[in-house]
Structure 1
């Protein structure tokens, strides 16, 4: 990416903007850029900061920016607003919560976040960060697991219990086998117990039920 950012350094205005951003606690007004230039400039300025948040006026534009900015940063994510219309919320199911969690999940491991969102989404309050992190389930092979306690915790976190999981945000329990489909993951996870000890943890294909990889 140096071939993209280095030409910006030749412009005195670019150096002035970087300097003003630091001097004014990150507040500078810039105009006169067309859309491709905006993303190029944002990418150049981003190198001074750990996180990137781009805010725009509506959902369609946010998705367009997120798609275009993957040229500079493939990890960028679209952070959606909650659906306030009941039929839309029903259609989307767990998709929006999954997108929101996927977007902010690097924060739980002190990673960097690159996100595009809307003013509506930005105005929505989230639970305190420490409260969110406190509800992360950390299960490893060899751990002792109380199935009843795990079930209660999953329900508290908003998971739905099904006979067989069919979508993100669901879990099922059959004897010593627990299937969980975390909203942030592409594939569900199967935990196999030997007594009350975790014997194996694997991701698996939702359609074929075949194991994919050990976790």
Structure 2
């Protein structure tokens, strides 16, 4: 797998469940197959869990686990949720990737990395996630919300598709069921009226 000037692929980045693209749930087995091709070409598979990690999908702590228990990305990026508003981010990787980076002789350096305050915040968030069983809560509340949304869909033809896992849920608004024309103005109204206070 080579680029236009003969360059090889370095990495494939994918949000485990694309959110801004519309709460897209990749089919089971998709990421393992992509990862196989990327690794054969000499690249690494990077799973972005910045919005969907830390139990948001309910069934699993990481959204990439929806692809199967055997699927392990080479690198996982995470943030937002781990800080609950405090700016914290984290990267986890395999020993093979870490050793390959170390072997380059380039020392990892980060001006803002390793702050004791940020580390304390991250640990406190993880404690709350565990103690308050927020992953199980995401499953329960998400299932309840999906049921309510399905009831609303039966009453309101503007609701097209409803999809999601845990508390990662998306709803399509459409003008016409046959053409599935997006109800853009209505969606803009809902977003500005109910999501931004």
Tell me whether the two structures share a fold, i.e. TM-score over 0.5: no
TM range (shorter): under 0.3
Bigger-Rg structure (1/2) = 1
TM-score when normalising by structure 1: 0.24
**Structure ranking higher on relative contact order (CA contacts 8 Å, 6+ apart):** 2
TM-score (norm 2): 0.26
